[in-house]
């Protein structure tokens, strides 16, 4: 079942270009921690986050997710990201297209990335 945040079924995910919506930090081992704001509205961030508490939720990615996240820079489409993963990790990421489909669906539903067509329009 598709939610309103899922791309329409006639859109080819492999042709879409993902763009990161949040910042990140890199661990010593090369994995990424995404800094997701607790609130997206400035006044809520200011008044509802307790003092001395981090205004960001830290989301840790594994080594595959970290490589995908770094490639979501708005230049490469999902198919190019898949090819880069296979070149770097080989058989360890197979079935790469199925894994990326699930991963990008989750990232998009939670607002971590936005997907756009090659013409610049967002899906």
- Tell me the residue range of the domain where 97 lies: 17-116
Residues 12, 26: Cα–Cα separation, whole Å: 31
Q: What is the pLDDT of residue 46?
A: 66
**Residue 10 located in a structural domain:** no
> Does the pLDDT value for residue 2 go beyond 60?
no
Residue 92 neighbours by CB distance under 10 Å:
11
**Residue 37 located in a structural domain:** yes
> Does the pLDDT value for residue 113 go beyond 70?
yes
**Residue 28 located in a structural domain:** yes
**Residue 58 located in a structural domain:** yes
Residues 120, 12: Cα–Cα separation, whole Å: 15
**Residue 103 located in a structural domain:** yes
**Residue 60 located in a structural domain:** yes
**Residue 4 located in a structural domain:** no
Which pTM value belongs to this model?
Answer: 0.82
Residue with tokens 């595959």: 64
Question: Into how many domains does the chain fold?
Answer: 1
Which percentage of the chain shows pLDDT scores above 70? 82
- Convert 49-75 to b/e letters by CB count within 10 Å (16 or more is b): eeeeeeebeebebeebbbbbbbbbeee
pLDDT digits (tens, 9 = 90+) for 40-92: 666 666 666 667 777 788 999 999 999 999 999 999 999 999 999 999 999 99
**Residue 122 located in a structural domain:** no
């Amino acid at each position: 079942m598709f939610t309103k945040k899922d791309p329409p079924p006639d859109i080819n995910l492999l042709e879409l270009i993902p763009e990161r919506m949040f910042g990140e930090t890199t661990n010593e081992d090369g994995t990424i921690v995404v800094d997701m704001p607790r609130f997206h509205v400035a006044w809520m961030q200011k008044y509802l986050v307790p003092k001395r508490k981090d205004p960001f939720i830290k989301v840790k990615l594994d080594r595959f997710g970290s490589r995908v996240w770094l490639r979501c820079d708005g230049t490469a489409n999902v198919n190019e990201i898949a090819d880069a993963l296979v070149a770097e990790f080989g058989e360890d990421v197979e079935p790469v297209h199925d894994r990326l489909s699930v991963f990008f669906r989750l990232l998009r539903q939670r607002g971590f990335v936005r997907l756009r067509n090659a013409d610049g329009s967002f899906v």
